[in-house]
Structure 1
Amino acid sequence: MLMNLFKFKGGVKPPTNKTQSVTQPIAVAPMPSRLVVPLHQSIGGTPRPVVQVGDKVLKGQLIGEADGWISAAIHAPTSGTVLDVGMHVQPHPSGLDALCVVIEPDGKDEWIERQPFDYANATPEAVREYLQQSGVVGLGGAVFPTHGKLTPSKTVPMEELVINGAECEPFITCDDLLMRERAEEVVRGIAVFRDLLQPQKVLIGIEDNKPEAAEAMRAAVKAIGEVFLVVQVPTLYPAGGAKQLIRVLTGKEVPAAKRSTDLGVQCFNVATAYTAWRAIAHGEPVVSRLVTVTGNVHHPRNYEVLIGTPMDELLKLATPHPDTDGIIMGGPMMGFLVPEPSVPVVKATNCLIAHDDRLFPPKAPEMPCIRCGSCARACPHELQPFEMYWFARAKNFGKTQEYHIFDCIECGCCSFVCPSRIPLVQYFRFAKSEIWAREREKNAADQAKTRFEFKQFREEREKSEKAEKLAKAAAAQAAKKAAEAAAAGESGASPVGEAPAATAAVDSEKEAKKAAIEAAMARAKAQREAAQPKNTEALTPEQQREVATVDARREAAGIADAPPAEKTE
């Protein structure tokens, strides 16, 4: 079936460098010496560790419990012993530490007891909760918890379910090999998503430079008896972006301030559908993923790798050349050099590229911007990168926000086409981080101000409550005396001409006011005493005599409210 395709603005065509790693089938990476499993591997909260040092764990056992709804559980990738639950370097450009569980494999690779999940007879809420507990997240790079995206909009009917098999980044071929070799399980996972979202149609988008993957997916769809439509889209970076693929397949443009579900569309990666099916059909949580190992190596290939495997151990399987000087996680457009070669593979790791100056020569010096507009023409989100660059460079971050800097997906198209070789994405990342930092500082200041104002309000409230209690007590005492006087008058014990009950009520009110005034004076006196400097701790005998003389004069003058000097021994 043919369908009309749409185009998105911008995009580039960098060298794909994909053929090197698709000549061999997927291999299973051997067991590493140890596994360092970060607990925070998805967007959302950080899972809480549920194991301790010395615990024995089985493959697939829960080691990190989901923290909130937008979070996903973490499981042991193999059986072994927990060596540490602490901070270790994570695969992130910042090089910061993250809470990790370190496991020493016992070599048995012994699974927990597994059983399929009967999703056909389960409620949608139960299926989503099961996927959360199985640690299923988006494996296309965003690692958003999948169960959160499987909740349809209550107001907008789901029209299209888009499955992303485009894999547009150069060098990365793990999704290509997954669709070639495990297409049936991918399609069954897509069917689970279809059953939960109930879309009108399902579209599987694959770039036209992957004909084998497209054919395998069509065969699997036919064999299972589904009506999913496999569509080959033009090879253009970043066609694998969710918004770009939605635009190409449906013609819908997702605004920056909205989600795709607001337009009746949802998008998932093919690897996400595969892991969801493995969790439901086999009871297997996400403990491994496919990773492309390529770049400056002798034997590029795709491996099924346990989460937590040190990257340098994985890279050795492809036999890197001696001049390899780093590891890029992800593709060359949006990837980054990892801070240490031993950082672990995580759920977001789809590719490792051995770096050297031959494949990635050092960039020539940055030149001034000539305002040619090439970056604006290449931007798939129709932004104006050159304007954002000028304001980011000038640290005018307010202006960068006026030019919608947070709509930038950091795809790198602008840097790729810039004739002045300006690393535009780096400027945008800098501006975003500064804006976030200032927002955090502002929020902290606002919270401190709120706490201070509440403290003042509480103190004033306590003072007024205390004064009110004193006034009530004085009024009650006065009323009691008036009642006693009235009782004495009725019994004939009161003298002639005693004030009537009305006079007693007036006196009671006066007493209450007097008590309130006295309480206010007591507070004022306490405040004055608290404000008095206490600098008489170390006086000489002569100074003490002078102070005593002054105190005596003050007493003789009748200055009662003046605070006395502190006595010293």
Structure 2
Amino acid sequence: MYVESKKGKTRKLWQFHGGLHLPEKKEISLDRPLQQATLPSRLVLPLQQHIGVQAQSLVTVGERVLKGQILANSNAPVSAPVHAPTSGVIIAIGEHAVPHPSGLTGQCIVIQPDGDDSWVDLPEPMTDFKSVDVRELRQRIRESGIVGMGGATFPSAIKLNPGKPIKTLIINGAECEPYITCDDRLMRDFAGRVMEGTRILQHMLQSEECLIAIEDNKPEAILAMFQELRDEENIEVVRIPTLYPSGGEKQLIRILTGREVPTSGLPAQVGVICHNVATTAAIADAVLDGRPLISRIVTITGEGIGEPGNFEVPLGMLAGDLIAQAGGYIEQQPQQLILGGPMMGFDLNTDQVPITKGANCLLCPSEEESPPPQPARACIRCGRCADVCPANLLPQQIYWYSRAKDLEQAQDYNLFDCIECGCCSHVCPSHIPLVQYYRYAKAESWAQEQERRESEHAKQRHDFRVSRLERLEAERKARLRKKKQDLKSKPPAKKREASKQEISDKDAKQAAIEAAMKRAAEKKARQQHRPKNTDNLTSDQQAQIEAVDKRRLVAREEKEQQKEHSE
């Protein structure tokens, strides 16, 4: 189909599979103009108001803080800081009830407002944002704590760094869920601020086109946004048919561009980035005024509320305090309090939970509006859930495998492509709470994946330790082998000393032999000289001389032998 956009220009629109036409019930809160919530006696600020790593407190109990001051932050890539919505004193830091389906508590900072509403020194406005480096703009958006305010709460600065060219920037003003009107009221009252944020985003992403999508049941918002357009800009306001859940990211991309985001893929893969109109306005506040995200518009609605309407609410205000400013509960004990809309919201166990960055609506329906759920019966395999599924899944198959806790099979049927819109549960004739089964299966799958990652990490550490020990042992053995080789190639010191001793002994023996030979030669030379006065000797004298010589020879030989033995 084709619709008229800017200046009579027509644009082709596509259709997504399934969807529902639901009673809108938006007039309940749109009858009254936007109101400013009065500061309560205390503000409770959860440290986890975003997808990613929880922020860590930067303040202490008893410290006085100023409006806009950073109270908590994290150096993790996926995180967002928390700022003070007003000036006051930190009176507590600890566990407090937070808005979550589990009803569990979370770490929170509690501020007692002082009534002065004194601002901290804000960073310089970037009014000429087109001359500012895109990295500086992203840093400003990150430091301002801006996250997706349509409910996803993903840090916006990361989304603005897709790493690939973006052809189409989509500003999501569809607000397709019944009862919720905060985005409608924002576009009516602050269309200029939304358009300024749109221009900033288009400059940062350098997209070829920018489409502001609004359902055709919001004529005042469409007109207000039309009036903010400039002729020279490549920005269009596109009216789309009212069909739930046309505000879903993948469904809206399909409607406007005809492109299909792949299973488990991201819009950037098909050259598209989507931002909610509230997020866009918050980005304009951060860039043009230096103001962090410290408040948001919240719809208070339902027939159980005395004076439904839309309120500009400081973050951290308790739901009970806000409802009291909206006329309170009609009944003393309301039967149900929902954070969000009737399709994708969840029940709150108490109204003593704070408004956070992703909280867009508090719905208190009457019993006629939201009758108690009927008991679930067996699935009759009628196929209505598959007919209305906007993600084109097979809900009944995912239900069976989720119920049987066969999570791998459920994932094979693209469990994580389910946007939990509730269309299947709404049309189920057996009143099976299908979405609750899908949420359970997703939570269990995430838990198993986390356990698997921790197990792999432990195995990697074990393998690293074993490898290190093996390496050390191999190095030790290599040193031993080298030592043995060195010993073989070089005689040991003892052997060298023994060899030297043998050489020394041989030299000594040779010297002894030479000395003996010298003495023998001298003896022989002496014997060759005749003794004097030996002529005319008698026979007795001659015999005496020979006996003396004989004794001398024997004595000399004995002395020689003793000397040799002693050596």
Aligned match for 1:185, one of 193, 196, 199: 193
1:287-314 Cα shifts (integer Å, max 9, x gaps): 0000000111121100000111011110
Q: Counterparts of 1:454 and 1:147 in 2: how far apart (Å)?
A: 37
| Identity across the alignment (%) | 45
Displacement, 1:54? 1.4
Displacement, 1:469? 4.8
**2:536 maps to which residue?**
none
How do residues 336-375 of structure 1 correspond to structure 2 at under 5 angstroms? 336-375=346-385
Q: Counterparts of 2:393 and 2:107 in 1: how far apart (Å)?
A: 37
Q: Counterparts of 1:346 and 1:31 in 2: how far apart (Å)?
A: 15
1:55-105 Cα shifts (integer Å, max 9, x gaps): 110000011123322222111111011112222221010122222111111
**2:50 maps to which residue?**
42
How do residues 59-74 of structure 1 correspond to structure 2 at under 5 angstroms? 59-74=67-82
Aligned match for 1:426, one of 408, 419, 436: 436
Aligned match for 2:64, one of 45, 56, 65: 56
Aligned residue pairs, count: 494
Aligned match for 1:136, one of 140, 146, 163: 146
**2:408 maps to which residue?**
398
2:441 is paired with a residue whose SS is helix
Higher radius of gyration, 1 or 2: 2
1:114-168 Cα shifts (integer Å, max 9, x gaps): 33135333211111011000011111111111111112443xx322111100000
Unaligned runs of 5+ residues in structure 1 are 497-569
Q: Counterparts of 1:282 and 1:184 in 2: how far apart (Å)?
A: 14
**2:289 maps to which residue?**
282
Instruction: Name the Cα RMSD after superposition.
Output: 2.2
Q: Match for 2:330: what amino acid?
A: H
Q: Counterparts of 1:50 and 1:188 in 2: how far apart (Å)?
A: 32
Q: What TM-score, normalized by structure 2, do the two folds share?
A: 0.83
1:389-439 Cα shifts (integer Å, max 9, x gaps): 111112222211111111111010100111111111011111112222222
- 1:326–1:341 contact (8 Å) kept in structure 2: no
Deviates further, 467-476 or 92-101: 467-476
Aligned match for 2:257, one of 250, 257, 270: 250
**1:550 maps to which residue?**
none
Aligned match for 1:31, one of 20, 28, 39: 39
Q: Counterparts of 2:82 and 2:202 in 1: how far apart (Å)?
A: 25
Displacement, 1:493? 3.7
- 1:54–1:82 contact (8 Å) kept in structure 2: yes
1:473-504 Cα shifts (integer Å, max 9, x gaps): 677678776256447646864667xxxxxxxx
Q: Counterparts of 1:441 and 1:53 in 2: how far apart (Å)?
A: 36
Unaligned runs of 5+ residues in structure 2 are 1-8, 507-567
- 2:263–2:414 contact (8 Å) kept in structure 1: no
Q: Match for 1:150: what amino acid?
A: L
Aligned match for 1:175, one of 177, 183, 205: 183
The answer to whether the aligner puts 1:304 opposite 2:316 as a matched pair is no
- 1:61–1:76 contact (8 Å) kept in structure 2: yes
Q: Counterparts of 1:78 and 1:104 in 2: how far apart (Å)?
A: 9
**2:539 maps to which residue?**
none
Q: Counterparts of 2:109 and 2:167 in 1: how far apart (Å)?
A: 42
Q: Counterparts of 1:272 and 1:38 in 2: how far apart (Å)?
A: 19
- 2:264–2:416 contact (8 Å) kept in structure 1: no
Q: Counterparts of 1:162 and 1:225 in 2: how far apart (Å)?
A: 18
**2:301 maps to which residue?**
294
2:372 is paired with a residue whose SS is coil
Q: Counterparts of 1:151 and 1:480 in 2: how far apart (Å)?
A: 67
**2:565 maps to which residue?**
none
The answer to whether the aligner puts 1:108 opposite 2:101 as a matched pair is no
Q: Match for 1:110: what amino acid?
A: S
**1:441 maps to which residue?**
451
- 1:294–1:353 contact (8 Å) kept in structure 2: yes
1:221 is paired with a residue whose SS is coil
Q: Counterparts of 1:383 and 1:252 in 2: how far apart (Å)?
A: 17
- 1:34–1:102 contact (8 Å) kept in structure 2: yes
Aligned match for 1:271, one of 278, 303, 306: 278
- 1:80–1:103 contact (8 Å) kept in structure 2: yes
Q: Counterparts of 1:247 and 1:234 in 2: how far apart (Å)?
A: 13
**1:125 maps to which residue?**
135
389 and 479 in structure 1: CA distance in 2 versus 1, 3 angstrom threshold: same
Q: What TM-score, normalized by structure 1, do the two folds share?
A: 0.82
How do residues 322-333 of structure 1 correspond to structure 2 at under 5 angstroms? 322=331, 323-333=333-343
